[in-house]
Structure 1
Amino acid sequence: MTNPSVAQVVRQLLMGALIMGLAACSTAPPKGLEPVNGFDATEYAGIWYEIARLDNRFERGLESITAQYTLQADGSVKVENRGYNPEKDEWRQADGKARFRGERDIGSLEVSFFGPFYAGYHVVALAPDYSWALVAGGTDLEFFWILAREPVLPDDVKVRLLEKTKSLGVDPQRLIWVRHLARPPA
């Protein structure tokens, strides 16, 4: 048996910290926010581009971030999050599983990337055509994402989403805008 590399040890430590952080997260929606009703998982499935987010340690420094949601036969959702780290010139991917917290027509799920530890994933606003979504998590709104089907939002949509973000209790000044490379490395 060989000794683990420094990178493997660091990766294991980071995963352990993330597990501890997720274990502390509630799967209930953040205080004062309601998940959307009339949610259609089939329409939501597919690739989403992360447009903006509140800072979080597991995405720090990444760009060209996408999330792909694939419906599974057992009613769960396969989750593949992917982002590019330009400092290290490498792609990072986290694979997980999501399940509905209750009724499938309410945009309230819990997501796990590490075994039995789940965190809340709540779609709190959604375009009628599923072209953008606002997603929140954490008891006190520690997590927030603006997602879209395209890597760039039209200016008028961006303005509306920033107004909606503010009305949900998120300071738009705290958002980190994700850069999407025109031609990301393979």
Structure 2
Amino acid sequence: MKILYLALCVFIISGCSSKPPGIEPVDNFELSQYLGTWYEVARLDHAFERGMSHVSATYSVLPNGKVKVINKGFSEQEGRWLSAEGLAYLPEQGRGYLKVSFFRPFYGAYVIFVLDQEAYQYALVAGPSRNYLWLLARSPDLPHAIRSELVWRAKQAGFDVDELIYVDHQSEVIKHQE
């Protein structure tokens, strides 16, 4: 768990907290609809999630109005579940843009630039640069047509989709170790 926290801290400290150029958050964003668990379907590789499977993030609102974020995944290298708890807030009401911190006072950009705004079932999220991309969904898998559309939209936005890692959520052995 310390390794995950350290890696997340390095990301937040080294990354800037602004949006990547040309990536705009969705409008008409409803935080209440975004709350709950999201599964990581695909991501660009980075040190703080390298070798992790069964990755998910759960969002809930705290009494002070900030958002609690719990990231969880199975480290294949360590053979165990790791989790990190963070804090987020919306700097722009009504837009899919959060500032997220796993090591306060440093906050990083979390830009929801594609979202199924009817049902909030899938999203594309960027970090502070085009080196950070997550394809998220309410279930561990997406229909092929939707996944292909999201990958195409990420490519159009300038992300290197050939480098996407598709996250394993199928391994039954690991699921039972939770």
Aligned-residue CA RMSD in angstroms?
1.7
Give, as a single letter, the amino acid of the residue that structure 2 aligns with 1:122.
V
Task: List alignment gaps of at least 5 residues for structure 1.
Answer: 1-7
Match of 2:33 among 43, 62, 84: 43
For residue 22 of structure 2, what is the aligned residue in structure 1? 32
Once the two structures are superposed, residues 9-67 of structure 1 have per-residue CA deviations (whole angstroms, 9 ceiling, x without a partner) of xx46x745643441232222111110000000010000000000111111000000000
**Is contact 2:25-2:97 (8 Å) kept?**
yes
For residue 58 of structure 1, what is the aligned residue in structure 2? 48
SS at match of 1:181: coil
For residue 161 of structure 2, what is the aligned residue in structure 1? 172
* Structure 1 residues 45 and 156: alpha-carbon distance in aligned structure 2, compared to 1, 3 A threshold: same
TM-score (norm 1): 0.87
For residue 87 of structure 2, what is the aligned residue in structure 1? 97
How far off is 1:71 after superposition?
Answer: 1.3
Once the two structures are superposed, residues 55-105 of structure 1 have per-residue CA deviations (whole angstroms, 9 ceiling, x without a partner) of 1111000000000000122221000000001332200000000011222x1
How far off is 1:114 after superposition?
Answer: 1.0
Give, as a single letter, the amino acid of the residue that structure 1 aligns with 2:110.
Y
Give me the whole-angstrom Cα distance separating, in 2, the residues matched to 1:125 and 1:47: 17
TM-score (norm 2): 0.91
For residue 118 of structure 1, what is the aligned residue in structure 2? 107
For residue 146 of structure 1, what is the aligned residue in structure 2? 135
How far off is 1:163 after superposition?
Answer: 1.0
| Identity among equivalent pairs (%) | 38
